[in-house]
């Protein structure tokens, strides 16, 4: 798209959005946020980047094909559920790790891994769709 303002602002904006999306993902457990919203923000970042800088640049920025990101997210979410089976609980029961050096962290858990999986699925699927539509014949 030939808009000077957009083209100038986008790299900065997209980077910020991406950073913000990860922030939203991680704070989601205690404050408004989470993998789904974070993923939507991340996907918007890539979508706006693709519109401003062109599809090829956006694909380069993402390194791997978006649908592969979605697939690995789904796999991660499913695997995070398998962990509990190894500990003898039902599938998808949250497992927590309280490291000795930070007993109050309450953060290292399969639940957070699951949320990261959700994030990756949303980023991958939505930006994949946006990229495919953006593609010119």
Question: Of the listed pieces 3-11, 53-61, 125-133, which binds another protein according to CB under 8 A?
Answer: 125-133
For residue 102, the minimal CB distance to another protein (Å) is 13
Say how far apart CA 20 and CA 78 lie, in whole Å.
Answer: 25
Give the DSSP per-residue string, 11-77: HHHHHHHHHHHHHHHHHTTTSS--HHHHHHHHHHHHHHHHHHH-HHHHHHHH-S-HHHHHHHHHHHH
Tokens 């962990």, located at residue = 83
For the segment 40-79, give every residue that binds another protein (CB under 8 A).
Answer: 40-41, 43-44, 47-48, 51, 66-67, 70-71, 73-74, 77-78
Rg (CA), the chain: 17
33 forms part of the interface with another protein (CB under 8 A): yes
Per CB under 8 A, residues contacting another protein are 24, 28-37, 40-41, 43-44, 47-48, 51, 66-67, 70-71, 73-74, 77-78, 81, 91-92, 94, 96, 106, 109, 111, 114-115, 117-118, 121-122, 124-126, 128-130, 132-137
């Amino acid at each position: 798209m030939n808009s000077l303002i957009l083209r100038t602002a986008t790299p900065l904006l997209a980077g910020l959005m991406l950073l913000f999306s990860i922030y939203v993902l991680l704070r989601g457990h205690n404050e408004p946020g989470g993998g789904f919203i974070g993923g939507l923000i991340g996907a918007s970042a890539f979508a706006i980047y693709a519109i401003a800088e062109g599809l090829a640049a956006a694909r380069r920025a993402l390194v791997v094909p978006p649908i592969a990101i979605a697939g690995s997210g789904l796999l991660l979410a499913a695997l995070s559920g398998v962990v509990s089976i190894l500990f003898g609980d039902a599938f998808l029961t949250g497992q927590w790790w309280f490291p000795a050096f930070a007993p109050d962290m309450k953060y290292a858990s399969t639940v957070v891994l699951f949320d990261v999986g959700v994030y990756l699925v949303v980023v991958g699927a939505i930006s994949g769709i946006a990229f495919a539509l953006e593609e010119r014949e």
